[in-house]
Structure 1
Amino acid sequence: MLKEERLQKIIEQIAQDNKVVLDDLSRLLNVSTDTVRRDIKELSDKGLLKAVRGGAIIGSPVHPHFKERQHIDTHHKKVIAQKALEFIKPGQVIILNGGTTTTAVIAALPRDINLTVVTNSFPVVSILEDYPHVTVFFIGGELNKHAYSTTGHETIEAIRNFRADVCLMGICSIDLKLGLTGFTYQESLVDRAMIETSKYVIALSTYDKIGASDPYYVCAANAIDVIVTEKDPSTTDLSGFKEAGILIK
């Protein structure tokens, strides 16, 4: 199969399934995974898709709405939520951003836990209304109707009034060299403020976001203490992150 035919086939597959996997493409195209990886990089450089660890996803200029994202990778998010719970202890001050993964963690909390939660996420606040021993500080600002969260100068200034024990950060992407990056400028500024005001930072990330990047810088990779993913840490090739002192769960 000619290279141009391979590239077209990859584009067709990603248009059909919204994502492609290296091993699957290798079998489909009857070429090595290294060849497929180079093809994906070329298409990614042209903006026709977005390369991620193990394959690629559809390269959309529009980040999916919260309502759409809450139905994507639900099983993986539940696994991540259960892993993240081990870092949450009674009496802590927890700060967290908007997103479907952080919402999944909050939904998994024991109903009788005693916490202080600081957030800019409407869905998180909605869940915590029924938790009798959780004190909630909702950070106001400009409403992002797409993400059901607040952003802006007022949001960032309010965040700086807190000193959190743990930051639970739902992320868009993290790369060892490029750092933690976000899809929108305003949300990235809010995420940075949350990280800067926290003693311990936990990035909640499905595996395909690791090794990927987005347009807006949040922080260096080594500003993160833990990456929680749905994968078994013993089966993942994340040695670079481990060497940088980041715990993989």
Structure 2
Amino acid sequence: MLKKERHDLIMRQINLHNRVLTSDLVQLLNVSEDTIRRDLQELADNNQLIKVHGGALSTSYQSSFNDQNVYARDAKICIAKKTIPLIKDGMVILTGGGTTIIELVKQLPENLQATFFTISPFVAIELAKYAKIEVILIGGLFSKNSQVTYGGHVITQLSEINADLCLLGTSAMHPVNGLTDTDWEINQLKKTMLNSCKFAAVLCISEKLNTTQRLKVAPLENIHYLVTELDGTSAELDPYRIKSLMIL
């Protein structure tokens, strides 16, 4: 495989999943770990990604306030607008992090009255711009890779919440394997968040559909809403049409 082809495949994985592991790229591209490290360094030198220990991060994931760097921003804005009707005055809402959630926050009604719990400082800062929204940032250890708080203290706090609605992004979604991710700590957070709400909505660009990562978060049956930029009647979404899941 040519270097240009490897770089294109690496960037696709970065754009889809926000972060990649060196070990996963070695397996995916069938090359040595040294080759992947050199590829990541070259891409980092060209400001296409951010190289970290064990892998790399998307520049948009690391710089959430720079709209120009957000991958598939138009699709994420579409998803955000389709999610807004789920949010009502007086609700208690729990959110994860990521650029899709931040785009959602930017689309909220100006006079919305609600309480938001979040594990993302970036999301909290965006929420703080709304005069009538109470913002509660759940504190703990801070993940430089995922840009959210994590750890036992965070999980304990999450488990004490009974939210009306949980809003989550995802690294991958599959009709059989459900929600999956690559980070053990993030998996535990998401599992706890799904158990701490009455209804859960997953916000997912269509490119992440029919993909699977190594660690399972939850089956489709644990989710109430799937929101993508696709038309809700699209045939691409047919494998996700189960009784308990509403597709927006």
TM-score under structure 2 normalisation? 0.77
Aligned to 1:152: 151
Question: Any stretches of 5+ residues in structure 2 without a counterpart?
Answer: 14-24, 31-53
Indicate the SS of the match to 1:237.
helix
Aligned length: 210
Match of 1:67 among 41, 50, 62: 62
Deviation at 1:207, TM superposition (A): 0.3
Alpha carbons 1:63, 1:183 under 8 Å: kept: no
Deviation at 1:211, TM superposition (A): 1.0
Q: Is the aligned partner of 1:191 residue 2:190?
A: yes
Distance 2:86 2:246 in 1: 12
Question: Any stretches of 5+ residues in structure 1 without a counterpart?
Answer: 1-7, 21-43, 50-59
Larger radius of gyration: 1
Q: 1:61 to 1:214 in 2, by over 3 A?
A: farther
Q: Is the aligned partner of 1:15 residue 2:7?
A: yes
Q: Is the aligned partner of 1:48 residue 2:29?
A: yes
Aligned to 1:113: 112
Identity %: 24
Deviation at 1:210, TM superposition (A): 1.1
Distance 1:61 1:240 in 2: 32
Indicate the SS of the match to 1:131.
coil
Alpha carbons 2:178, 2:216 under 8 Å: kept: yes
**Counterparts of residues 19-98 of structure 1 (less than 5 Å):** 19=12, 46-48=27-29, 61-65=55-59, 66-67=61-62, 71-98=70-97
Aligned-residue Cα RMSD (Å) equals 2.6
Identify which range, 69-78 or 129-138, moves more after superposition.
Answer: 69-78
Alpha carbons 1:13, 1:19 under 8 Å: kept: no
Distance 1:144 1:96 in 2: 16
Identify which range, 141-150 or 156-165, moves more after superposition.
Answer: 141-150
Deviations 1:221-240 (A, max 9, x none): 21111110011122232222
